[in-house]
């Protein structure tokens, strides 16, 4: 008779582990339950979910309001073809409208953030023709489909460029990465050159249709822009008749403290994509929202896009209750209190560990960038290490956390610190205690300099 471990190994043998070498997908951890900010393996061990899984489980696990709505819809009408309209689709649209920035009035519902960005590409290429080029940034992730990966700067793009690239005309701009400024300058004396350079690119390159950005970079570092950056970028796009696309897949739904991250800078994009938090990951939904300029183009032109699962009734059923929960939490002050405590404790922790070169973030979206030397900013690992499979210091720290019941997603150079919005001060303190011990693994390999940690988050918004 097969044991549980035998079944796990058999499962791993016959499935592809995502974003991983398959020799590392031999015995994945079996999760049996989850509730609140915690999840539990098959042996009953508890783990605090300090990355909201993949920055998506923003309302935590087993929210009964959302679960009941999904069950009710499953019993009533789980699916209807997207050529029809369901009652739940209308309810979802009304809930979305109540949260969207003013001016984003028309929506396409798919089943992931990647597909939401695919929709944005279709809208852009059709409505902006004959212009077709897209400007992205090097520290970005916009999805795993050929189009999503084409305008992704993330290192996972590199091994699959020939296999994935069916989208031409994508160019990468410098990031607003103040800790490692691509221009070698220091804010504010830099005059926000990273934004000004985009204007140069647009004018020199020609045929630019849009620029796509993560308002706060997600996977690739929680890079928060200077307060002038997005107002400048909005002006540059307007002057050059270029669409501004905001990928709020990770940053939406109060993850940064406001409904959407762009709200921090009072900037409304022409197209906004979002997913993950819109259902708190209870069902898979992606949303592409467009302004009137984009939407009106399709009044007399075919919108050449769609999915079998577009406007999927069961998936959409999670949106209204999730949005109601976000509004309740925001009105109660729970989100604000949690984010302030999280920020303060992360700053204290960074001051205690010289392996942390930069602490940056906003709301419930933070990152520690680990370095060998604070003065030179020499990293433990670089982008290529993620591809070659070299040992990662971030993975060592994350592994120590897991041993002690704390789940943190590691990237090649930074740790993803993004707990659910419902996390309490006590749960934050418990998490910080575990992370504090784990960071000593990296401290042991640091070249001591006595230089203070960088705090890029201190100009996180214009509030």
Rg of the chain over all Cα atoms, to the nearest angstrom: 22
Residue 460 has what pLDDT? 53
Output the average pLDDT for the chain. Answer: 95
Percentage of residues of the chain with pLDDT beyond 70 = 97
Q: Are residues 78 and 203 in the same domain?
A: yes
Q: What is the DSSP string of 42-109?
A: TT--EEEETTHHHHT-TT-B--HHHHHHHHHHHHH-S---TTS--HHHHHHHHHHHTTSPTTEEEEEE
Please tell me what DSSP assigns to residue 225.
P
Cα separation of the two ends of the chain: 62
Residue 459: pLDDT above 70?
Answer: no
**Between 161 and 290, residue with greater pLDDT:** 290
* Interval 96-116 mean pLDDT: 97
d(CA 135, CA 194): 13
Relative to beta strand 170-173, strand 133-137 is: parallel
For residue 165, the model assigns a pLDDT of 59
- Asked whether residue 145 falls in the same domain as residue 79, the answer is yes
**Claim to verify: residue 201 and residue 350 sit in the same structural domain:** no
Structure tokens at 336: 């604000």
Q: How far apart are CA 10 and CA 14, in angstroms?
A: 6
Q: What interhelical angle do 319-332 and 87-97 show, nearest 10?
A: 30
Asked whether residue 322 falls in the same domain as residue 449, the answer is: no
- Reply yes or no: is the peptide bond before residue 356 cis, omega within 30 of 0: no
Report whether pLDDT(164) > 70.
no
What span, in angstroms and rounded, lies between the C-alpha atoms of 293 and 291? 6
Residues 109 and 33 reside in one and the same domain: no
Rounding to the nearest 10 degrees, give the CA dihedral for residues 183, 179, 373, 378: -50
Confidence of residue 163 (pLDDT cuts 50, 70, 90): low
Q: What pLDDT does residue 168 have? A: 86
Nearest-angstrom CA–CA distance, 396 and 13:
25
What confidence score (pLDDT) does residue 159 get? 80
Q: Which of 303, 328, 353 is the last residue of a domain?
A: 328
Q: Could you count the other beta carbons within 10 Å of the beta carbon of residue 354?
A: 22
Q: Which of 328, 360, 394 is the last residue of a domain?
A: 328
Q: Average pLDDT of 141-150?
A: 88
Distance CA(288)–CA(261), nearest Å, equals: 16
Asked if residue 75 and residue 56 are part of one domain, the reply reads: no
Lowest mean pLDDT among 16-25, 212-221, 349-358, 410-419: 16-25
Q: What is the pLDDT of residue 461?
A: 45
Q: What is the pLDDT of residues 186-208, one digit of tens each?
A: 999 999 999 999 999 999 999 99
Query: Which among 458, 462, 7 has a CA at the least distance from the CA of 230?
Result: 462
Specify whether 238 is located in the same domain as 365: no
Are 114 and 225 within one domain?
Answer: yes
The structure tokens listed for 257 are: 């403290």
Q: How many domains does the chain have?
A: 2
Q: Which of 153, 157, 154, 116 has its CA nearest to residue 135?
A: 153
Structure tokens at 450: 């006595």
Q: CATH number of the domain at 394, please.
A: 3.90.1150.10
The arithmetic mean of pLDDT across residues 307-333, rounded, is: 98
Same domain for 274 and 152? yes
CB 310 within 8 A of CB 133: no
The model's pLDDT over 214-271, given as tens digits with 9 standing for 90+, comes to: 999 999 999 999 999 999 999 999 999 999 999 999 999 999 999 999 999 999 999 9
Residue 455: which of 218, 148, 224, 121 has the closest Cα?
Answer: 224
pTM of whole model > 0.85?
yes
Structural domain boundaries, residue 99: 64-328
- 328, 360, 392: which is the final residue of a domain? 328
Q: Give CA–CA dist 260/346, Å, rounded.
A: 23
Q: What is the pLDDT of residues 267-310, one digit of tens each?
A: 999 999 999 999 999 999 999 999 999 999 999 999 999 999 99
């Amino acid at each position: 008779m097969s044991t549980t471990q035998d079944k796990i190994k058999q499962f791993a043998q016959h499935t592809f582990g995502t974003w991983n070498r398959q020799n590392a997908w031999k015995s994945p951890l079996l999760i049996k339950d989850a509730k609140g900010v915690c999840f539990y393996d098959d042996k009953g061990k508890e783990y605090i979910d300090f990355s909201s899984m993949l920055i998506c489980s923003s309302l935590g696990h087993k929210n009964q309001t959302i679960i009941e709505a999904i069950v009710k819809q499953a019993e009533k009408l789980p699916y209807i073809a997207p050529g029809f309209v369901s009652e739940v689709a209308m309810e979802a649209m009304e809930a979305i409208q109540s949260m969207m920035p003013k001016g984003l009035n028309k929506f396409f519902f798919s089943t992931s953030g990647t597909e939401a960005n695919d929709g944005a590409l279709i809208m852009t290429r059709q409505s902006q023709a004959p212009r077709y080029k897209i400007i992205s940034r090097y520290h970005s992730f916009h999805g795993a489909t050929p189009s999503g990966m084409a305008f992704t700067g993330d290192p996972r793009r590199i091994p699959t460029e020939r296999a994935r690239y069916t989208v031409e005309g994508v160019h990468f701009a410098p990031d607003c990465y103040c800790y490692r400024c691509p221009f070698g300058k220091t804010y504010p004396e830099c005059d926000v050159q990273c934004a000004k350079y985009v204007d140069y690119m647009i004018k020199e390159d020609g045929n630019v249709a849009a620029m796509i950005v993560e308002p706060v970079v997600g996977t690739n570092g929680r890079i928060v822009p200077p307060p002038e950056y997005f107002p400048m970028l909005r002006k540059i796009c307007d002057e050059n008749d270029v669409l501004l696309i905001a990928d709020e897949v990770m940053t939406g739904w109060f993850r940064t403290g406001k409904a959407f991250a762009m709200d921090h800078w009072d900037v409304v994009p022409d197209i906004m994509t979002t997913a993950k938090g819109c259902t708190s990951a209870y069902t898979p939904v992606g949303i592409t929202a467009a302004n009137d300029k984009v939407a009106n183009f399709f009044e007399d032109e075919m919108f050449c896009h769609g999915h079998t699962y577009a406007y999927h009734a069961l998936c959409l059923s999670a949106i209204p209750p999730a949005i109601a929960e976000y509004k309740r939490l925001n009105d109660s002050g729970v989100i604000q209190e949690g984010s302030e405590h999280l920020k303060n404790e992360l700053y204290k922790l960074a001051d205690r560990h010289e392996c942390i070169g930069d602490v940056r973030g906003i709301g419930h979206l933070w990152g520690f960038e680990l370095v060998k030397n604070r003065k030179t900013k020499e990293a433990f690992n670089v982008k290529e290490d993620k591809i070659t499979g070299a040992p990662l210091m971030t993975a060592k720290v994350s592994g120590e956390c897991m041993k002690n019941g704390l789940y943190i997603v590691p990237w090649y150079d930074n740790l993803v610190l993004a707990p659910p919005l419902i996390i309490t001060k006590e749960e934050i303190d418990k998490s910080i205690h575990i992370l504090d011990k784990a960071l000593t693994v990296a401290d042991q390999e640091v070249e001591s300099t006595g230089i203070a940690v960088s705090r890029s988050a201190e100009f996180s918004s214009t509030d």
